[in-house]
């Protein structure tokens, strides 16, 4: 009896209940759904800071790739300039007949070799041209790197600025919708006139429009930044960072004294060095090189060894045209250098004036306007809550505060752009990459 009871109890424990089976079924169903939906889970957009963006730009930008290839090509010309001319081998064969004697034809042949040679100053001039072209290519690469750096920085901070404005627009939209709901409630219970609701609706609609416009501008700025890098950055991405804080530049004269070392001036100087090297080569070629010759002339009865020297005679072409053309390029490079110096000074003065204007605007915002707008908003909000002022005054204060914050961000970006323009002209980093 006891054994049967124990057996029955054991069997009862081993059998799962109906609720357990249903629970296991639903758990299995949830696991299947989870695995089926896993590929469709939305991944967060990748984030990049300024340093990461700059690294990708230097690696993937096509313009920089072009100038690097040109630099490698210039390096190859030096190998060509150091090489000697290849020798030439000449072989002739044919029948020979004697004017007197046996009438049968016999074979003869000629085997010769010639080696063109240049004077030392000609070879030196060719190497100098190649080395000057290498320096010019390196200067072009430096200019491209500086230009790319400033363009990427400007595009990066443009996105950062527009993202900040987008955040402001989002907060304004949420706040004005809350105000609209509050006003509607007051209108519904008869505590406020209907025109206040109309005004609140208008402001909420304007906030929505500003938000959508800010979103479009962010996407446009991201597309501009991505265009400088390429497909290395996905279409959907986020940036981390903020607009640089205000810095102080030296006086204009100090900056102008640094222009002589700028990449743009160095590029024109390298062009002049190439032109002068070409002039030197053309002048050296007025005294041409010579060709050494040696050969064996074999006849059925005679074998002769021949040694010779071939020297061109510059009677008709004394390279006067080539020398005059090279001289013209030298004078042209000097004029281009003078023009470049004038243009850089002009551009630097203009960039410095924009810097001073932006600095003055930032000072005005940071030393008064921002605090004043915030204080006015707090007063208007408190007055509206206690019924001392209407909705119109409160909304006007909100509008002024939003405008001041956006103008402040715009002034900071204008300041950054002015600094970046000075950085581009001087080729000196003013806004550090972090």
- pLDDT at 98 (0 to 100): 65
Instruction: Label residues 286-296 b or e (16+ Cβ within 10 Å = b).
Output: eebbebebebe
Convert the pLDDT of each residue in 180-211 to its tens digit. Answer: 888 888 888 887 788 888 888 998 898 999 99
Q: Which residue has the higher pLDDT, 140 or 317?
A: 140
- pLDDT at 215 (0 to 100): 95
Handedness of CA 274, 279, 284, 288 (dihedral sign): positive
- pLDDT at 264 (0 to 100): 93
End-to-end CA distance of the chain: 85
Band of the pLDDT at 326, cuts 50, 70, 90?
very high
% of residues, the chain, pLDDT over 90: 44
Band of the pLDDT at 141, cuts 50, 70, 90?
very high
Q: What is the DSSP string of 115-157?
A: EEE--HHHHHHHHHHHHHHHHHHHHHHHHHHHHHHHHHHHHHH
Least confident of 17-26, 190-199, 287-296, 366-375: 17-26
Quick check: 146 pLDDT over 70? yes
**How do 47-48 and 238-239 pair as beta strands?**
parallel
The owner of tokens 């390196």 is: 138
CA dist 155 and 161 (Å) reads 10
Edge-to-edge strands, sheet with 290-298: 88-96, 106-117, 290-298, 303-310
Least confident of 34-43, 218-227, 248-257, 339-348: 34-43
For 275-325, give the secondary structure using H, E and C.
HHHHHHHHHHCCCCCEEEEEEEEECCCCEEEEEEEECCCCCCCCCHHHHHH
397's CB contacts (< 8 A; 6+ apart) are 376, 377, 379, 380, 381
Q: Which residue has the higher pLDDT, 4 or 424?
A: 424
Quick check: 325 pLDDT over 60? yes
Mean pLDDT of 234-249: 86
Convert the pLDDT of each residue in 244-288 to its tens digit. Answer: 887 889 999 999 999 999 999 999 999 999 999 999 999 888 887
Band of the pLDDT at 224, cuts 50, 70, 90?
very high
* DSSP tag of 95: E
* DSSP tag of 3: H
The owner of tokens 């509008």 is: 399
Q: Which residue has the higher pLDDT, 353 or 190?
A: 353
CA dist 125 and 277 (Å) reads 6
Q: Which two tokens stand for residue 348?
A: 């630097």
Mean pLDDT of 151-157: 95
Q: What's the chain's average pLDDT? A: 84
Contact 373, 402 (CB under 8 A): no
Convert the pLDDT of each residue in 404-415 to its tens digit. Answer: 999 999 999 999
- Write the CA distances from 304 to 41, 211, 296, 300, 309, integer angstroms: 91, 97, 6, 11, 17
Measured in residues, the chain has a length of: 434
CA dist 214 and 208 (Å) reads 10
Nearest 5 degrees, angle CA 236-CA 239-CA 242? 155
Quick check: 291 pLDDT over 80? yes
Quick check: 17 pLDDT over 70? no
Q: Which two tokens stand for residue 66?
A: 């072009």
Q: Which residue has the higher pLDDT, 182 or 138?
A: 138
Least confident of 9-23, 49-63, 85-99: 9-23
- pLDDT at 411 (0 to 100): 92
* DSSP tag of 387: T
Domains and CATH numbers, the chain: 56-91+112-426 (1.20.1600.10)
145's CB contacts (< 8 A; 6+ apart) are 58, 64
Mean pLDDT of 127-151: 93
Mean pLDDT of 105-110: 77
Instruction: Label residues 351-386 b or e (16+ Cβ within 10 Å = b).
Output: bbebbeebbebbeebeeebbeebeebbeebbeebee
Q: Ranked by mean pLDDT, which of 2-6, 144-148, 302-306 comes out on top?
A: 144-148
- Of the candidates 242, 250, 225, 221, the one whose C-alpha atom is nearest the C-alpha of residue 355 is 250
- pLDDT at 14 (0 to 100): 46
**How do 303-310 and 290-298 pair as beta strands?**
antiparallel
Can you give the pTM of this predicted structure? 0.78
- pLDDT at 104 (0 to 100): 63
Mean pLDDT of 63-74: 90
* 305 φ/ψ angles, rounded to the nearest 5 degrees: -105, 125
Quick check: 42 pLDDT over 60? no
- Write the CA distances from 125 to 207, 245, 284, 327, 331, integer angstroms: 70, 52, 8, 15, 19
Contact 232, 59 (CB under 8 A): yes
- Of the candidates 287, 286, 277, 285, the one whose C-alpha atom is nearest the C-alpha of residue 329 is 277
CA dist 362 and 243 (Å) reads 13
Q: Ranked by mean pLDDT, which of 97-106, 115-124, 341-350, 376-385 comes out on top?
A: 341-350
| Helix, strand, coil abundance in the chain, percent, nearest 5 | 70, 10, 20
């Amino acid at each position: 009896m006891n054994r049967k009871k124990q057996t029955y109890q054991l069997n009862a424990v081993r059998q799962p209940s109906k609720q357990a089976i249903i629970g296991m079924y639903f758990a299995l169903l949830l696991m299947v759904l989870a695995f089926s939906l896993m590929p469709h889970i939305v991944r967060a957009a990748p984030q990049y800071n300024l340093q990461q963006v700059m690294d990708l730009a230097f690696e993937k930008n096509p313009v920089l790739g072009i100038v690097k290839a040109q630099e490698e090509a210039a390096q190859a010309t030096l190998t060509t300039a150091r090489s000697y001319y290849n020798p030439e081998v000449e072989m002739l064969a044919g029948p020979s007949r004697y004017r007197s004697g046996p009438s049968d034809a016999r074979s003869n042949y000629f085997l010769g070799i010639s080696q063109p040679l240049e004077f030392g100053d000609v070879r030196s001039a060719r190497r100098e041209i190649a080395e000057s072209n290498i320096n010019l290519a390196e200067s072009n690469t430096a200019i491209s790197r500086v230009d790319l750096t400033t363009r990427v920085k400007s595009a990066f901070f443009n996105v950062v600025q527009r993202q900040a404005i987008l955040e402001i627009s989002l907060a304004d939209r949420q706040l004005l919708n809350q105000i609209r709901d509050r006003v509607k409630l007051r209108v519904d219970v008869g505590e406020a006139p209907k025109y206040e609701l109309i005004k609140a609706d208008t402001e909420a609609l304007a906030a929505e429009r500003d938000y959508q416009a800010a979103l479009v501008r962010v996407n446009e700025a991201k597309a501009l930044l991505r265009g400088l890098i390429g497909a290395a950055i996905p279409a959907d991405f986020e940036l981390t960072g903020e607009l640089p804080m205000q810095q102080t530049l030296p006086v204009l004269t100090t900056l102008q004294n640094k222009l002589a070392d700028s990449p743009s001036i160095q590029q024109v100087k390298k062009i002049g060095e190439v032109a002068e090297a070409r002039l030197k080569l053309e002048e050296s070629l007025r005294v041409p090189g010579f060709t050494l010759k040696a050969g064996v002339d074999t006849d059925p009865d005679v074998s002769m060894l021949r040694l010779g020297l071939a020297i061109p005679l510059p009677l008709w072409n004394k390279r006067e045209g080539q020398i005059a053309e090279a001289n013209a390029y030298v004078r042209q490079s000097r004029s281009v250098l003078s023009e470049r110096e004038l243009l850089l000074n002009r551009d630097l003065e203009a960039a410095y004036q924009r810097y001073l204007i932006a600095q003055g605007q930032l000072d005005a915002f940071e030393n008064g306007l921002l605090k004043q707008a915030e204080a006015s908003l707090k007063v208007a909000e408190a007055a509206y809550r206690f019924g001392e002022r209407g909705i119109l005054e409160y909304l006007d204060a909100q509008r002024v505060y939003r405008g001041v914050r956006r103008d402040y961000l715009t002034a900071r970006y204008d300041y950054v752009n002015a600094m970046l323009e000075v950085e581009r002209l001087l080729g000196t980093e003013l806004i550090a990459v972090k």
